[in-house]
Amino acid sequence: MTELMPLKYENEILKLLDQRLLPTEEVYLTTRTIEDCFHSIVDMVVRGAPLIGFTGIWGMALFVKHNPKATFEQFARAAEYLKSARPTAVNLAFEIDRCVEMARLETHLNAVYPKLVAHANFEMNNLYEKNLKMAKFAESELQRIYGDRPLNVMTICNTGVLACGVLGTALGVIINLHNQKKLKKVYASETRPYLQGSRLTSFELLKANIDHQIVVEGAASYLMKNKLVDAIFAGADRIVENGDTANKIGTSSLSIIAKHYGVPFYIVAPTSSFDLNLKTGEQIEIELRDPNEILKYKEHHIAHPEAKALNPSFDVTDHNCITGIICENGIIDPMIPGSVREILEKK
C-alpha cells in the first residue's frame, strides 16, 4: 500500500488529502487561499492538532501570496480569522502566532512568504524527529514496566501521519513498538461520532501491517477488566500547566477506567501542544460541533429526524488520571507540581 501524505504544497497550491472520504477514497482537495484553509480546517478535511497547525502556516503563506501589498495589520487580522477555525487544539494558534512574529520582523510583508514556506516545510520534517524521540521514551517506559514481553495497547482517535503529516504521536509510539517487535496487538477505539479510529487509525494500521481490532468506546471497561490491554496511548489538543489535557471526546472516560483497573495511561504530544497560559483544564475552550455528526451518518438519519444531540468534540482528562505525559523533552509525571513547566523549559 502507498504511503499516506495528508498535505503537500506544489506549484504554490496546497493540496489536502480529504480525510472526510477516507478510507474509501483518496482524493486531494485544492486549497488556494486562506479562506480555503479556514474551511478545510472547520470541515475536517484536515484534522489532528499538529496538522491543523501546519495548515495554519500554509494559510498565512497563501494570504501573503495573494495579498503582497497587505499591511502588517491586515496580516494580523487574517491570522485571528484563521485561528478561529477550531478553538481547542492550541497548535493552530501556536503556529499562526509564530507566523505573526515572523511577519513583524519584515519591512515589506511579501518578504515573509518564502520564509513561511520554508518554515512550514521545516516544522513538518522536524516533527518526525520529535515523534521518534517520544516513541523511544515510551518504549523505555514500557520496558521498565513489562520487560521484553510483546504488548497489547489501546488508542483513541487518530494520532498518526494523518494527524501530524509525519509518523505520529500516540500512533508513532505504536508503530515504533511494532518495528521493535514489542507489539502484540492494538485495540483502536472507533471514536464516535467522527470515527477517526475506525476510518483513519485502522487504515494507518493496515498500511503498516499491524494486527489490530476496532472496538466501540463502550468496550474499554470490558477490555481492561479482562486484562486485554497493557497500556493506553492518546494524543492531545492542549495540555495546560497542571497537566490536565484536552483530547478527543471519550479520552477522559478511558483514563478513568484505566485508573480503576490499574492500566498505565499515557498522553503523547509535542511541546507545541502545551499551553502554559492556562493553569487548569477548566480554562480550556471545548469545541461544540454540529449535532448532525451524531444524528446522521453521511446523509442518512440514524436518530429520529426530530431528535437533538449535544456534540462536544473534546473532553479534558484530569492530570491525576494520567500516568505520564510524553513529549520530545522527556516524560512528565503530572502528579508532581511544576513538572510540566520544568520539562518545557528544558532545552
Which residues would be at the binding site for ligand MRU (CB under 6 A)?
A: 47-50, 89, 157, 159, 163-164, 169, 196, 235-237, 247-248, 313
For the CB of residue 63, give the shortest distance to ligand MRU in the complex, in Å. 22
From 18, 237, 275, 318, the catalytic residue: 237
Specify the residue, 117 or 174, whose C-beta has the smaller distance to ligand MRU.
Answer: 174
Specify the residue, 196 or 323, whose C-beta has the smaller distance to ligand MRU.
Answer: 196
Full strand arrangement of the beta sheet holding 245-248: 274-275, 238-240, 245-248, 314-317
Spatial CB neighbours of 247, under 8 Å, sequence gap ≥ 6: 156, 157, 234, 235, 236, 237, 267, 314, 315, 317
Give which of 281, 275, 269, 278 is closest to 331, Cα–Cα.
269
For the CB of residue 76, give the shortest distance to ligand MRU in the complex, in Å. 25
CB closest to ligand MRU, residue no: 235
Quote the CA–CA distance of 153 and 174 in Å, as a whole number.
Answer: 8
For 222, the enclosing helix (H) or strand (E) is helix 220-225
Specify the residue, 61 or 254, whose C-beta has the smaller distance to ligand MRU.
Answer: 254
> 237 catalytic, yes or no?
yes
Beta partners for 317?
Answer: 245
For the CB of residue 50, give the shortest distance to ligand MRU in the complex, in Å. 5
Q: What is the DSSP letter of 167?
A: S
* Cell numbers that stand for 82 in this block: 484563521
For the CB of residue 198, give the shortest distance to ligand MRU in the complex, in Å. 13
Angle (deg, nearest 10), helices 34-42 and 49-66:
160
Specify the residue, 83 or 248, whose C-beta has the smaller distance to ligand MRU.
Answer: 248
Where in the sequence numbering do the catalytic residues fall? 237
